Structure 1
Amino acid sequence: MRQFTAIVNPTAGGSTGVAVLLHVARLLREAGAGLETVYSRSLAHACELARQAGQRNRVVLAVGGDGVVGGIGGALSGTDTLFGLVPAGRGNDFARALGLPTDPEALARVLLHSAPRSVDTIEVESAHGRSVVLGSVYAGVDALANRHANRSTLLKGAASYYAGGLRAVATWRPAAYRVTVDSEPLAHRGYTVVAANSPYYGSGRIIAPGARIDDGLLEVVMIREAPRRLFFTLMNELKSGAHVHRPEVRIAQGREVRIEADREVPCGADGEVDAVLPVTARVLPGALAVLC
């Protein structure tokens, strides 16, 4: 029977996140699994707790949103530690990419009985150093929107992302990017560049419908300069992924992506925005074993 260590982000999901964890924890224990719960003080602390649990041959459960899931998953990338998720954040986009159920009983069955799946991770290099994340790296108006959403105290979930997007687009000036995909330079002027391992970001928006979490490739989505009215239409089309059929959207694939710009452009990954361009993202194939 598996032995779990649940690492909890106390600020993610509020009372709903706590309720989901308590329900799942009860089901795991009733099935005979061992479960210990630890609370993180910061993302760096959560990553250290995850490494320590992995060294004790425990299954590490990330309880929180995409930030803590991406951070803990990145910390375990390249190890033999099994990784599980208890989605309890605003976006839960990587859990969505894995097809994880939201029902606690179904989720407990996955954690108890499913075979691990090897998925890709993303190594990220910037002036802030090196890190490993799971879902996507993005640079542009979406990073600015996410920064606004993360700072929102009134709105939660998808509403905070949508409001943050409206605020960001209203003030955004298209940037001149230099994008290099596997040594091929691509000129781009516009709103954003996304190097995606997962199809989803921004609380369920399908930014990269062609992205797969286990194909050893990053899907690079570039949204070109367009009238603001059209850009708002593009934002709405992210709900279905239909935006990729517009001429303003360019798609490329590669194993390594370098993103630069002609000015300071915010850059984020997995729901966290703490860097600016330039940034390099490279895929690490099959680097993480996930229960899903």
Structure 2
Amino acid sequence: MRQFTAVVNPTAGGSAGAAALLRVGRLLREAGAGLETEYSRSLAHAQDLARRAGERGRVVLAVGGDGIAGGVGGALSGTGTLFGLVPAGRGNDFARALALPADPAGLAAVLLHNAPRRVDTIEVESAVHARTVVLGSVYAGVDALANRHANRSRLLRGAASYYAGGLRAVATWRAASYRVTVDGEEHLHRGYTVVAANSAYYGSGRMIAPGARVDDGLLDVVLIRAAPRRMFFTLMNELKSGGHVDRPEVRVLRGREIRVEADRAVPYGADGEVDAVLPVTARVLPGALDVLC
């Protein structure tokens, strides 16, 4: 029977993390599994707790949103530690990409019985930000600004905070000129954003890269060109279905290593947590993480 260590982000959704773990944890213990709980003081602390639990041969559960999922999953990348998710944040986009059950009984069954699946992770390098590894995506442009606004929101939660953050970011955004290098081939781009996606989803269920797969050894690179603001708001709505990729303003490339530069200090983010400015390099690490899903 598997032995679990749950690393909880106590700030994700207020008490949602503890409540979600309580429901799933009861089912794990009733099935005979061991479960210990660790509460993190910061993302760095959560990563340290996860590494130490992995060294003891335990299955590590990240409890919270995409920030702690990406941080803990990234810390365990390449270690062989089994990794699981108990989604309890605003976005839960990587859990969505893994098609994890929303109900506690279904999730507990996955954690107890499913064989691990090897998925890719993303190594992120920047001259102004420490090297890190994340799970879902790296995004540079108006979406990074929108995520910054969402993270600082005190009045709105969940998808509403992302939508409001997006409206605020688009209203003030001016197109940036990018240089995007994909596996050594340079592409010039002027527009709203560049997204290097391992997962199809970001921004609380928005399907930014419908063709992205977490285990194909590639990153989907989505470039959204400059367009009238009215068009961009329409495009934002199309992110719900992924239909935006059919528009001429959107281009999709694929590759293993992507470098993104810009003509000004364009912000970039990753998995809802990293908040820095370009340039940045994103590199896929194929099959680096064993996930219960």
TM-score after normalising by structure 1: 0.99
Partner of 2:206 in structure 1? 205
Matches within 5 A, 1:153-168: 153-168=154-169
Question: CA offsets, 1:195-225, max 9 Å, x none?
Answer: 0000000000000001000000000000000
Answer whether contact 1:147 1:273 (CA < 8 A) is retained: no
Question: CA offsets, 1:226-273, max 9 Å, x none?
Answer: 000000000000000000000000110000000000000000000114
The more displaced of 273-282 and 238-247 is: 273-282
**Which ranges of structure 2 fall in alignment gaps of 5 or more residues?**
none
CA shift for structure 1 position 19: 1.7
Alignment size in residue pairs: 292
User: Aligned equivalents of 2:106 and 2:240: distance in 1?
Assistant: 26
Answer whether contact 1:216 1:284 (CA < 8 A) is retained: yes
Answer whether contact 1:200 1:206 (CA < 8 A) is retained: yes
Partner of 1:64 in structure 2? 64
Query: 2:15 is paired with a residue of what secondary structure?
Result: helix
Partner of 1:181 in structure 2? 182
CA shift for structure 1 position 18: 2.1
Q: After TM superposition, what 4+ stretches of structure 1 lie above 6 angstroms from structure 2?
A: none
Which residue identity is paired with 1:243? H
Partner of 2:288 in structure 1? 287
CA shift for structure 1 position 129: 1.9
Question: CA offsets, 1:58-77, max 9 Å, x none?
Answer: 00000000000000000000
Partner of 2:217 in structure 1? 216
Partner of 1:44 in structure 2? 44
CA shift for structure 1 position 15: 2.9
Query: 1:201 is paired with a residue of what secondary structure?
Result: coil
Matches within 5 A, 1:124-143: 124-126=124-126, 127-143=128-144
Partner of 2:240 in structure 1? 239
After superposition, the CA RMSD in angstroms is: 0.6
Partner of 2:80 in structure 1? 80
Partner of 1:18 in structure 2? 18
Identity %: 83
Answer whether contact 1:84 1:290 (CA < 8 A) is retained: yes
Answer whether contact 1:146 1:161 (CA < 8 A) is retained: yes
Partner of 1:195 in structure 2? 196
Answer whether contact 2:137 2:199 (CA < 8 A) is retained: yes
Which residue identity is paired with 1:48? D
Question: CA offsets, 1:81-139, max 9 Å, x none?
Answer: 00000000000000000000110011000000000000000000012121000000000
**Which ranges of structure 1 fall in alignment gaps of 5 or more residues?**
none
TM-score after normalising by structure 2: 0.99
User: Aligned equivalents of 1:142 and 1:272: distance in 2?
Assistant: 13
User: Aligned equivalents of 2:138 and 2:233: distance in 1?
Assistant: 21
Which residue identity is paired with 2:260? I
User: Aligned equivalents of 1:142 and 1:234: distance in 2?
Assistant: 13
Answer whether contact 1:188 1:224 (CA < 8 A) is retained: yes
CA shift for structure 1 position 57: 0.1
Which residue identity is paired with 1:79? T
User: Aligned equivalents of 1:154 and 1:16: distance in 2?
Assistant: 17
Partner of 2:123 in structure 1? 123
The more displaced of 1-10 and 272-281 is: 272-281
Answer whether contact 1:266 1:273 (CA < 8 A) is retained: no
Q: Is the aligned partner of 1:258 residue 2:271?
A: no
Matches within 5 A, 1:143-154: 143-154=144-155
The more displaced of 267-276 and 209-218 is: 267-276
User: Aligned equivalents of 2:271 and 2:55: distance in 1?
Assistant: 25
Which residue identity is paired with 1:249? V
CA shift for structure 1 position 16: 3.0
The more displaced of 266-275 and 238-247 is: 266-275
Q: Is the aligned partner of 1:53 residue 2:38?
A: no
Answer whether contact 1:268 1:274 (CA < 8 A) is retained: yes
Query: 1:4 is paired with a residue of what secondary structure?
Result: strand
Partner of 2:113 in structure 1? 113
User: Aligned equivalents of 1:185 and 1:70: distance in 2?
Assistant: 28
